């Protein structure tokens, strides 16, 4: 069963990681092809083509954004956007060699960052282990633009932060992912204003009012190690929905110092629930919130998310 390795050389640590990975793959006599991404969305199209041609395993050398684009390529998105995306090959496997800024999905799979070598060993193991993980099917820009989310999506301050991380130059790339996200979050906070947002979960209004942040998560971590929902699991068939409303700038800074351990859930202005279908609506064009999806900004609100339970086999 042939393997495709997708390498994003723009990712924070990919250039250093790939030679190490490549050496071990060759020593293991693995039959594989390599594809280096050239543009945004490139990984999605290459993945779809490869799976249609019979490739059985696709591994990513990069961060959450490239991993998310690759996961999207595992599905055919229907012309009728209300229809559930179709898996091209339900038996195909997705793997990652973490080499990005936050690597939040990989971190969540083990509950912490683990060395690159551990991911290489798992990938090359004779009895390769997989886990069926949930993904999210989203529709943004007035529910007209479809996408797949593998890990988590944030709106409000979270979306603004993601845009700032993406715009950071070479100098900032010398710092850890955690520092880069924190630096960007402080900049986003300085210019953020609350606006009315309505959050509906499984047909019931969960929150309606001025919001600081809305998050929808399948995985445990987002935003460079922030634990949005400490109970989130990517194999329970549920989406964790987090809303923060009425926080002052001082309150937000306090919660930023606690969110990596999940301490923000003790704040009464932070509320969490679970569901299978989540709709997040803003009501004026100027109030549309950027939507961060696995580290990339994919569009603006309003947006809807649906969980696709156990939709991808992931190598662990």
pLDDT by residue (tens digit) across 56-114? 999 999 999 999 999 999 999 999 999 999 999 999 999 999 999 889 999 999 999 99
Distance between CA atoms of residues 67 and 11, nearest Å = 11
Residue 249 has what pLDDT?
83
Measured CA to CA in angstroms, residue 98 lies from 148, 248, 276 at distances of 19, 35, 28
In the numeric block, which tokens belong to residue 277?
């279908």
pTM: 0.91
pLDDT by residue (tens digit) across 197-228? 999 999 999 999 999 889 999 999 998 888 99
Domain ranges of the chain: 3-134, 136-309
- Measured CA angle at 240 (ends 236, 242), to 5 deg: 170
Residue 257 has what pLDDT?
79
Please determine whether the domains at 3-134 and 136-309 fall in the same fold group of CATH: no
Q: Which residues of the chain have pLDDT under 50?
A: none
Distance between CA atoms of residues 89 and 3, nearest Å = 14
Helices 14-27 & 116-124, crossing angle to 10 degrees?
30
Residue 49 has what pLDDT?
97
Topology of domain 136-309, CATH:
Tumour Suppressor Smad4 (2.60.200)
CA dihedral 46, 51, 56, 61 (to 10 degrees): 20
Bridge-based pairing of strands 213-217 and 239-244 is antiparallel
In the numeric block, which tokens belong to residue 138?
């989203």
Q: Which run of H or of E encompasses 14?
A: helix 14-27
CATH class held by domain 3-134? alpha beta
């Amino acid at each position: 069963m042939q393997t495709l390795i997708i390498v994003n050389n723009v990712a924070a640590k990919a250039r250093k990681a790939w030679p190490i990975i490549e050496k071990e793959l060759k020593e293991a006599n693995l039959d594989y092809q390599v594809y280096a991404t050239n543009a945004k969305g490139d990984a999605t199209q290459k993945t779809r083509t490869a799976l249609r041609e019979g490739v059985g395993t696709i591994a990513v050398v990069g961060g959450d954004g490239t991993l998310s684009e690759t996961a999207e390529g595992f599905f055919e998105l229907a012309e009728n956007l209300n229809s559930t995306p179709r898996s091209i090959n339900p038996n195909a496997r997705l793997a990652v060699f973490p080499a990005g800024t936050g690597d939040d999905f990989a971190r969540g799979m083990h509950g912490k960052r683990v060395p690159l070598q551990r991911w290489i060993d798992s990938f090359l193991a004779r009895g390769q282990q997989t886990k069926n993980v949930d993904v999210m099917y989203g529709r943004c820009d007035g529910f007209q633009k479809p996408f797949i989310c593998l890990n988590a999506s944030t709106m409000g301050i979270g979306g603004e932060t993601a845009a700032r991380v993406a715009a950071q130059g070479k100098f900032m790339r010398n710092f850890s992912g955690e520092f880069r996200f924190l630096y960007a979050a402080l900049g986003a906070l300085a210019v953020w204003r609350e606006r009315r947002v309505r959050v509906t979960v499984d047909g019931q209004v969960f929150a309606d009012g001025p919001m600081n942040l809305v998050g929808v998560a399948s995985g445990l971590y987002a935003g460079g190690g922030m634990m949005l929902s400490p109970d989130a699991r990517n194999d329970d068939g549920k989406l964790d929905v987090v809303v923060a409303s009425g926080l002052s700038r001082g309150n937000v800074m306090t919660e930023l110092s606690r969110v990596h351990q999940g301490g923000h859930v003790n704040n009464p202005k932070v509320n969490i629930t679970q569901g299978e279908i989540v709709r997040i609506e803003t009501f004026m064009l100027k109030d549309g919130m950027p939507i961060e999806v696995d580290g990339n900004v994919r569009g603006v609100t309003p947006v809807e998310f649906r969980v696709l339970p156990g939709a991808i086999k992931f190598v662990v």
